[in-house]
Amino acid sequence: MDPRRPPRTVPDPKVRHVGFFAPGADAPPPPDRSNSAPPDPLSSSPPAAAHLTPPGTSISPVMIPPPRHSAAPLSPRRRDSFIVGSYSGKRFLDVGSPTASTASATDDWALPTSADSAWVGDTVGAGASSLPPVGSAAMIAKGLASSVPATAGLTAVSNVHRSAGVSGKPSGAASKVQGDKPKQSKPLKEKTTKAERRALQEAQRAAKAAAKGVGGKASVHMSEVVLASDVESVEVPKAHFQRNDIAAVNEKKVIDRQLEKDRKKDVPQPRMQYDDKSRVEKAKKRAVLKQTEARNRVELFRHLPQYERGTLLPDLQSRFFQLDPVHPAISKVGFQYLSGDISGSNARCIAMLQAIREAIIDYSVPPGKALVRDLTSKIGSYVSFLIECRPLSISMGNAIRYLKNRIAKLPLTLSESEAKATVVADIDRFIHDKIILADKMIVKHAVTKIRDGDVLLTYGSSSVVEMILLHAHELGKQFRVVVVDSRPKLEGQLLLRKLVGKGLSCTYTHINAISYIMHEVSRVFLGASSVLSNGTVYSRVGTACVAMVAHTFHVPVMVCCETYKFHERVQLDSICSNELGDPDVICKVRGRDEINFLDGWTNGNNLQLLNLIYDATPSDYVSMIITDYGMVPPTSVPVIVREYRKEQLWI
Amino acid sequence: MKEQTTRAMWWRSPSFILDNRQQQPNDTARGDALSIPLSSPLPPSTTMADPNPNPNPNPLTDKISAYYQTRAAHHGVVSSDWLAQAQAAVGHLPEADDDASNNDQGAPSGKPFSVIDEFNNWRKQPDLAEAVAAIRALAAVIRNSQATTMMELEIELKKASDSLKSWDTTSISLTAGCDLFMRYVTRTSALEYEDFNSAKTRLIERAEKFGEISYKARKIIAMLSQDFIFDGCTILVHGFSRVVLEVLKTAAQSKKLFRVFCTEGRPDRTGLRLSNELAKLDVPVKLLIDSAVAYSMDEVDMVFVGADGVVESGGIINMMGTYQIALVAHSMNKPVYVAAESYKFARLYPLDQKDMGPALRPIEFGVPIPSKVEVETSARDYTPPQYLTLLFTDLGVLTPSVVSDELIQLYL
């Protein structure tokens, strides 16, 4: 139906040859690997090269290298049968490169092989040669081939063929070295130097990369190298051959690193697990703020940060002027997070973005640094400061990801001021498009679901739900609102105040009465901190309870959430990722000092106080998610996430 | 990108399973014959001035859902009782007269081209779904357009589509078909062509393609669903759906052995009509009254229903009674299959039964009903997605949740 679902082509049939075989006879036709390869720059190699590179069979783990070949001058036909399908671009290269054609046609095969062994001899004898990496690569390949042919990739296998071929043909200068080659290979492998180990790794990596079907490009590259490298005059074909080897290895290495990097980028960083001692220690060293860990940590939630409350703010304030790397706007926002002055994921996200915006306006590139890199790391440090103040919400994480993405994509030609202006404009656009406009769209959609005579229930205080209710009231719809609230935050009161102020008729109740009040409710509107890709709604603790009760009473539950808060993670419970609030607030009641039964008990070992901030509502209890893209069922969240990310890449 | 997303919905359409030898030539020929040539250019605004030239000459039945009028006309089940009920249903509706006045000015003759006329022409063929008729009519709008800029053409098309939609607001497939047509045809890179004529040609091409896909949809669905009908199975069907009939016909023609239970389909007895059709095909049929569904459900292997509209949640809006059949089938673990063309995918998201525009339909009880007794005249209900097993559409066999994926792709 579209690009998002790649055609389910059957990948190359895996033909596994065991024992001896002549590939010319029964090898499958070389399939076009570029189809099945991931869409990387490599697959765009010229078709000719791709075609000339028989893949697949070369790395068959069970392939046994053919034994000795008696015929000394290998006729081209014989050579074909002898290659056993193992090939990167080498044969192609031999044939195609001008030097190879100038070399004696009968022996272009033998020459490189003897070269190989000669190099082995060199390395063994002298330890270092004029071209050490070349020698070691070849040698390592050999060592691999003889000891562990299964893991050896393309280069290794092809090397061993050559040497095998030559060893049956005692001629040329290198023959005496070849004689004891099999014996050497093992001890050699054991006393590898660092460089050699690296070469080994490279060879293995190269093998892997080749297995992924990137051989085509490598071979093209190699032939270029051949053309360019007529400098070495000692033994032209030999030098060429081995240089090609290295070139191939290097090329593949670079490619492979890029792939790895891309992969790393794709996978979101796992959250820090606070029960992992070594990582916590490391994080502590880096930390700007010193937080003392709570004494009685809740066992089930050890992986979440649990700090003593109340110590941080005074400490921070006293050290305000020493906190060097943090911009004042950022530290201000951080303190506001810490003290709870800003809460609600939209408000927090906007505050953070505006602080970063200010910081960027005041930012100047230090001499000798690139803006893109320095700014990214700067923002990284701001963010880690904010995390220490309060763990990031998912919406903030998404916003930061967007911002870093934008910075990384800045054209290098921009001057500093232009770049800054671009980034600032990006931030403004994000706030405007993804939050403010998105809210407007949500309100527009949600209002259509409010009918006259409805009783709407909401829980806590969600900015979007508030806008929806007020807008519906402005439209003159007749409805009643039930605001359900819960301790300790009692955020619903704020919402209630605004609604009553506008003249809506409201009922205020606490979450314990939810099963009573649900009888008369016709719609439930909930806000969300995030919606995860299995449709789970991650929201203020208590939301799941409200949604479940509503579901039991067959009352439709509508979750209002902007698309920028969607996350591709999947979460099944509220335990593995959550935030813990101050445990003290749940055992004390503001303004009622007589409730002091727990005074002095909180430090005992057999009492653990758990103040969860969020919970996860399974998608079964959600009838509809209202986003800026419209009203979607919870099953369609992955589609939105996918489309949204695509769009973000295109902005 | 826009083109990609818009194309997304149909580009994988499994229309390949049809050998398109038969329809194409006839189709285009018919299309040309029916599209009335434009003699004098009129500005689009006047053309669309009266969006409601109601086709039905009988003013009494005006406020009954036009969709069901059409169906009734096609099915030949209009009776005197029906009309009496219709009158009663109209009685307490507020804007009855306003529509009647519309009706008076609705038939000025000599008008060069009107999308409604075109639509009505197409609609006369009982085999052609209303939405397909609308799609063909809209394609004709593009063809006959005198617009000279893309903007003009788009506005004209928009007006035509709006007037079609307002012709019958209760028909979900009509609205959805028009919306999808607009989306599919106009959201293309063709709009960026320099040359207006080539852009217009492109639009016409797309429109024809869309019409073609929609027309073939029923056959595609019939082919796709054959895998699900096995020998010796018992199928329960509800109401009269042309897609379901096509499915069963194809199965019968491919020599499958199966038995069909038809519900009566009160009040317009559409089930009777289906059972007649099936009897002609020599398929063993048993008629049930609507309330005997649960009684016979344990003999049933699968439930086949059509749909008036498929909504974003993946649920369907269909003839009254579908929901309860789905509930019964669900509780007895019988699969419920829905056969619906993709032009019925509507951007609606009902939360419950009352959360949609009502389509009213008169009900004959055979005996006079006292005026104090209220009659539920709603013609359709909403079946939530959790009670449906699979949807057979011309896009393929889908689970209910894919519907919203497709719609998101198209409308994003």
For residue range A356-398, what is the model confidence (pLDDT) as tens digits? 999 988 888 888 888 888 888 888 888 888 888 888 888 898 8
Q: Are A321 and A629 in contact (CB under 8 A)?
A: no
Is residue B46 over pLDDT 90? Answer: no
pLDDT band at A325 (very low <50, low <70, confident <90, very high): low
B370 forms bridges with which residues in the sheet?
A: none
Residue (of B358, B410, B357, B350) closest to B385 by Cα position: B350
- Top-confidence range, A118-127, A514-523, A636-645, B187-196: A514-523
pLDDT band at A118 (very low <50, low <70, confident <90, very high): very low
For residue range A270-300, what is the model confidence (pLDDT) as tens digits? 566 777 777 777 766 666 556 666 666 677 7
A559 forms bridges with which residues in the sheet?
A: A526, A625
For residue range B383-408, what is the model confidence (pLDDT) as tens digits? 999 999 999 998 889 999 888 888 88
Is residue B370 over pLDDT 70? Answer: yes
Q: Which residue of A has its CA nearest to B386?
A: A620
Please tell me the distance from the alpha carbon of residue B404 to that of residue B4, in angstroms, as a whole number: 17
Query: Per DSSP, which regions of A477-573 are E strands?
Result: 479-485, 505-510, 523-527, 530-532, 537-540, 557-560, 566-567
- Interhelix angle for A328-339 vs A371-389, to 10°? 20
Chain B nearest-CA distance from A424, in A, is 27
* CA distances for A333 relative to A327, A348, A350, A383, A651, angstroms: 10, 9, 10, 11, 28
Is residue A36 over pLDDT 60? Answer: no
Is residue B133 over pLDDT 50? Answer: yes
- Contacts of B1-5 with CB under 8 Å at 24 or more apart are B1/A650, B2/B187, B2/B188, B2/B189, B3/B187, B3/B188, B3/B189, B4/A2, B4/A3, B5/A2, B5/B187, B5/B409, B5/B410, B5/B412
Mean pLDDT for B38-43 is 39
- Which token pair is B29? 């020929």
- Top-confidence range, A27-36, A457-466, A587-596: A457-466
Chain B nearest-CA distance from A362, in A, is 37
pLDDT for A365 equals 83
Residue (of A397, A638, A645) closest to A531 by Cα position: A638
Three-state SS at A112:
helix
Amino acid type, A478? Q
Amino acid type, A118? A
φ and ψ at residue B30, rounded to 5 degrees: -60, -40
Q: Which residue of A has its CA nearest to B354?
A: A451
- B405–A contact, CB cutoff 8 A: yes
pLDDT band at A255 (very low <50, low <70, confident <90, very high): low
pLDDT for A307 equals 65
pLDDT for A529 equals 92
The DSSP secondary-structure symbol of A493 reads H
Q: Are B319 and B265 in contact (CB under 8 A)?
A: yes
CB contact under 8 A, B12 and A643: no
For residue range B170-227, what is the model confidence (pLDDT) as tens digits? 788 888 888 888 887 766 655 566 677 777 787 788 788 888 888 888 889 999 999 9
Mean pLDDT for A488-504 is 91
pLDDT for A322 equals 61
- A510–B contact, CB cutoff 8 A: no
Please compute, for residue A620, the number of CA atoms within 13 A of its CA located in the half-sphere on the CB side.
Answer: 6
A506 forms bridges with which residues in the sheet?
A: A481
Q: Are B384 and B401 in contact (CB under 8 A)?
A: no
Instruction: Give chain A positions within 8 Å (CB) of B5.
Output: 2
A616 forms bridges with which residues in the sheet?
A: A538
pLDDT for A233 equals 42
Handedness of CA A100, A103, A105, A107 (dihedral sign): negative
The DSSP secondary-structure symbol of A392 reads P
Please tell me the distance from the alpha carbon of residue B280 to that of residue A263, in angstroms, as a whole number: 62
Three-state SS at A281:
helix
Chain B nearest-CA distance from A411, in A, is 23
* Helix H or strand E encompassing A198: helix A194-209
φ and ψ at residue A242, rounded to 5 degrees: -75, -35
φ and ψ at residue B44, rounded to 5 degrees: -60, -30
- A266–B contact, CB cutoff 8 A: no
Q: Are B404 and A633 in contact (CB under 8 A)?
A: yes
Q: Are B110 and B307 in contact (CB under 8 A)?
A: no
Is residue A515 over pLDDT 80? Answer: yes
pLDDT for A337 equals 86
Residue (of B261, B245, B328, B338) closest to B300 by Cα position: B261
- B187–A contact, CB cutoff 8 A: no
Would you give the end-to-end CA distance of chain A in angstroms? 24
Q: What percent of chain B has pLDDT over 70?
A: 70
Starting at the earlier edge strand, list the strands of the sheet with B380-383. Answer: B309-310, B316-319, B380-383
- Which token pair is A407? 């910075």
Handedness of CA A534, A536, A537, A539 (dihedral sign): negative
pLDDT for A312 equals 60
For residue range A398-440, what is the model confidence (pLDDT) as tens digits? 889 888 888 888 888 888 888 889 899 999 999 998 899 999 9
pLDDT for A254 equals 58
Mean pLDDT for A189-206 is 67
Q: Are A107 and A241 in contact (CB under 8 A)?
A: no
Cβ-in-10-Å burial (0-12, 13-18, 19+) of A451 comes to middle
For residue range B226-276, what is the model confidence (pLDDT) as tens digits? 999 999 999 999 989 889 999 999 999 999 999 999 999 888 888 999 999
Mean pLDDT for A258-263 is 58
* CA distances for A429 relative to A329, A355, A411, angstroms: 20, 15, 19
- Of the candidates B9, B312, B406, the beta carbon closest to that of A631 is on B312
- B169–A contact, CB cutoff 8 A: no
For residue range B91-112, what is the model confidence (pLDDT) as tens digits? 444 333 333 333 333 334 444 5
pLDDT for B390 equals 94
Mutation target to probe the B interface, by most B beta carbons within 10 A, among A4, A449, A627, A635 is: A635
- By DSSP bridging, strand B380-383 and strand B316-319 are antiparallel
Q: Are A93 and A224 in contact (CB under 8 A)?
A: no
* CA distances for A396 relative to A29, A314, A391, B16, angstroms: 52, 26, 10, 47
- By DSSP bridging, strand B285-288 and strand B302-305 are unpaired
pLDDT for B35 equals 39
CB contact under 8 A, A2 and B385: no
pLDDT for B113 equals 66
pLDDT for B230 equals 92
pLDDT for B202 equals 79
Q: Are A86 and A158 in contact (CB under 8 A)?
A: yes
For residue range A157-195, what is the model confidence (pLDDT) as tens digits? 444 444 444 444 444 444 444 444 444 444 444 555 666
Q: Which residue of A has its CA nearest to B11?
A: A1
Instruction: Give chain A positions within 8 Å (CB) of B183.
Output: none
Residue (of A94, A82, A27) closest to A56 by Cα position: A27
State the pTM of this model: 0.65
Is residue A86 over pLDDT 70? Answer: no
Q: What integer best gives the mean pLDDT of chain B?
A: 75
Is residue B290 over pLDDT 70? Answer: yes
Is residue A344 over pLDDT 90? Answer: no
Is residue A517 over pLDDT 70? Answer: yes
Please tell me the distance from the alpha carbon of residue B405 to that of residue A533, in angstroms, as a whole number: 13
Helices (H) and strands (E) in chain A, counts: 28, 11
pLDDT for A131 equals 43
- A3–B contact, CB cutoff 8 A: yes
Residue (of A484, A487, A631) closest to A556 by Cα position: A631
Please tell me the distance from the alpha carbon of residue A267 to that of residue A233, in angstroms, as a whole number: 48
- Which token pair is B351? 């939360």
User: Helices in A485-636 by DSSP H: which ranges?
Assistant: 492-501, 514-517, 543-552, 584-587
- By DSSP bridging, strand A523-527 and strand A557-560 are parallel
Chain B nearest-CA distance from A630, in A, is 8
Mean pLDDT for A486-490 is 86
In this predicted model, which residue has the larger pLDDT, A307 or A486?
A486
- Name the residue with tokens 């813990």: A580
ipTM of the complex as predicted: 0.71
pLDDT for B10 equals 53
Please compute, for residue B264, the number of CA atoms within 13 A of its CA located in the half-sphere on the CB side.
Answer: 8
- A643–B contact, CB cutoff 8 A: yes
The DSSP secondary-structure symbol of A362 reads T
Q: What is the dihedral of CA B346, B350, B354, B360, to 10 degrees?
A: 10
* CA distances for B352 relative to A24, A524, A625, B361, angstroms: 67, 13, 15, 20
Amino acid type, A59? I
pLDDT for B195 equals 73
CB contact under 8 A, B355 and A449: yes
Q: What percent of chain A has pLDDT over 70?
A: 52
